[in-house]
Amino acid sequence: MARFDPIVFSSWEGLHQENYLIAMYFMEVEASVDPVELGVEIAVDQTTGTWTAVPAETPEVRRHHMAKLIALHEVPNYEFEVPQDTKTRRYLIQIAFPTINFGPQIPMLLSSVFGNLSSRGWIKLLDLQFPRTFLESFPGPKFGIEGLRRLLGIWDRPILCNVIKPCTGISPEVGAELVYQAARGGVDIIKDDELIGDAPFSPMVKRVKEYMCRLKEADEQKGEKTLFAINVTDRQDKIRDNALRAIEAGANALMISFATVGFSMVRTLAEDKSINVPIMGHMNFAGALCESPCSGVSSELICGKLARMVGMDMVLVYPPQSRFHLIENKFERVVQILQQPFSKIKPSFPLLAGGVHPGIVPATLDSMGTDVIIGAGGSVHGHPGGAVAGARAFRQAFEAYSRGVDLEGWAQDKEELQQALGLWGTA
């Protein structure tokens, strides 16, 4: 193959763009490595070719199925000389993949753009840009931000979510009392911790029935609706059955750990017409895929685009202030991707959780706006006044923000908020 053979090199403008998606990679290699040869190797290896020529890789096969190297940029962008002491060089590479190779589904898509390539160690998949016709095959969220607000009847403030603590090891009866207290204090959504599923000490159906019974009491007392997102994470052949049994038992939302069960499993739930409740996606284990700065997959792609495409109405993302956290610009970008226009796919609600307390509410809302879900576990159940007081402290913080008043000043005659700020401080 010639060094710049048009069969593998093209401008984006020179392609029929509806037939390709663009994968963007970051790579750092030894200064002696030829980046052009490396880019071609990726385009060929991830589509039609292998390490040596094979007879059936015909010009026709290459024309229709080989990826195209459409951009190669060095960072910093040397023009006239490379410093003599340079040991490694960094590049952004864009490769266009024919969508005919994998069709509108995530497993073969990821195998194509990053399968074997992910094992090379020095390359990170930063982004995928999709043609509109490709995106139209994905359902996206059934509810999304507007639908969830309509379901809860909340239009002018953030949503408050609580995760039951302790994380695991408690019976349905003990958990139901915790659920009741949190909901009575003003929590809008209660979710299972990701560490409890259909457990012997807390069978899923029994847990749903116990929790929903107490939520009905709390809702009648506070005059508001509360959702309970039951964790249906399991082996794949049991997840849909878990969801249907939970809904039949009264669950009005689902939660699933998308990085462990896979994107297509979430899509299966989202596209199922018999599952008409909001789906919450938890990002646990996603850090194993995106933590490295020079390998793996970006959090923007894992927790942003793909999570939204497959139909998660709510996506848990770790904010910078939490114990498990993305750096600020990464976190902001993931939230933006979940909320911004994206073909016809509805926006997903970002759920901010992991060591969150009332003191961080003003700074968080200043940065993110009010189309977010604030997820609180220990700061509700660990409040000195109990879970009712813990939930009220958050609602008081929301009210202070909506009125544009100082949080500490507002807390002077709000005992629950005052206690929370005294224990955990402010951002």
Residue showing tokens 């659920």: 179
- Residue 346, helix vs strand vs coil: coil
The amino acid sitting at 225 is K
CA atoms within 13 A on the CB side of 117: 29
Amino acid at 145: I
Catalytic residue among 124, 165, 381, 414: 165
Contact 193, 377 (CB under 8 A): yes
Rounded Cα gap, residues 175 and 381, in angstroms: 11
CA distance 216 to 412: 33
Does residue 282 have an active-site annotation? yes
CA distance 380 to 395: 11
Q: Where are the beta strands (DSSP E) in 195-299?
A: 227-231, 253-257, 279-282, 296-297
CA-CA distance, 42 to 36, in Å (whole number)?
A: 10
Local structure of residue 50 (DSSP, 8 states): -
CA-based max dimension of the chain: 81
At residue 13, φ and ψ (nearest 5 deg) are: -70, -20
Contact 416, 357 (CB under 8 A): no
Active site residue 330: no
DSSP sequence for 263-283: HHHHHHHHH-TT--S-EEEE-
Handedness of CA 284, 162, 245, 303 (dihedral sign): negative
Residues 6+ apart with CB under 8 A from 359: 397, 407, 420, 421, 424, 425, 426, 427
Task: Check: CB of residue 309 under 8 Å from CB of residue 302.
Answer: no
Catalytic residue among 282, 346, 383, 414: 282
Active site residue ranges: 165, 282
